[in-house]
Amino acid sequence: MDFRPFDTRHYDTVPVKAGYGEWAATYENTVVDLLDLRLLAGLSSVDWQSCQRAVDLACGTGRTGVWLKQAGVVVMHGIDCTPEMLEMARRKGAHDRLVLGDLSATGFDGGAYDLVVTSLVDEHLADLRPLYAEARRLLAPGGRFVLVGYHPHFLMMGIATHFDRSPGEPVAIESHVHLASDHVAAAHAVGLRLGEMIEGVVDDAWAGVKPKWYAKYRSHPVSFAMVWQGPG
């Protein structure tokens, strides 16, 4: 779904690669771990330590990869379409292999991963179906696909993913709204079934991290995590 009818802030909007290319240098100073890493830690159906091979789709600067490695994932591959973000991940060294490219056509071996992860990415995809199809192709029998997303509720309140180009100059990155039912439809089309879903809300932990959001959006859902399972 097009984000524009929901837009309340009307920031300049740039395409994904241009946006993350600019944001890469300061991305890690601004992204909030409560949004995604807390949700990864809150999942109960994934035994990270038993994951031998994982792939991190849209790995960005490697934040997710660092978390996964610390959680016990053994071998990890990553892909991202923005060279500047990928370069940061390369320097971080959490991934064993990194590739520049689109997450819908990774070129990684099919059926080779017991874990596929993508975090804070789906709102940038116009269509979820190629993501779910590629995740399904990559999964080994019995594997899990973990998707962490910025909540559609927040997008529908008018707040696109954005960064400050310079102080007081916010820029939005092209965003799309996907309802939970869009995820279910894309997953079911490739034979994935939901094993677990949790949501993150702006709770007291946000008070010191993003005080303006805490004051304005307290108790609103801000992110979600889904665990999809294939057959076997």
Provide, rounded to whole angstroms, the least separation between the CB of residue 160 and ligand SAM.
12
188: tokens are 């079911």
65: tokens are 């990869």
Provide, rounded to whole angstroms, the least separation between the CB of residue 175 and ligand SAM.
11
Secondary structure of residue 164 in the 3-state scheme: strand
Pairing of strands 221-229, 139-150: antiparallel
Q: Which is nearer to ligand SAM, 223 or 232 (CB)?
A: 223
Tell me the Ramachandran region of residue 107: left when phi exceeds 0, alpha when psi lies from -120 to 50, beta otherwise: left
Q: Which is nearer to ligand SAM, 163 or 206 (CB)?
A: 163
In contact, 111 and 232? CB cutoff 8 Å: no
Provide, rounded to whole angstroms, the least separation between the CB of residue 58 and ligand SAM.
3
CA angle, 156 then 46 then 31, to 5°: 40
Q: Which is nearer to ligand SAM, 83 or 191 (CB)?
A: 83
Q: Which is nearer to ligand SAM, 55 or 192 (CB)?
A: 55
Provide, rounded to whole angstroms, the least separation between the CB of residue 22 and ligand SAM.
11
Q: Which is nearer to ligand SAM, 127 or 193 (CB)?
A: 127
Residue nearest to ligand SAM (CB): 60
Q: Which is nearer to ligand SAM, 61 or 229 (CB)?
A: 61
Provide, rounded to whole angstroms, the least separation between the CB of residue 141 and ligand SAM.
25
- Give contact residues for ligand SAM (rule: CB under 6 A): 16, 20, 31, 36, 58-61, 63-64, 79-82, 85, 102-103, 119-121, 124
Distance CA 118, CA 64 (A): 8
Distance CA 47, CA 72 (A): 9
Distance CA 26, CA 165 (A): 10
Q: Name the residue with tokens 């820029």.
A: 171
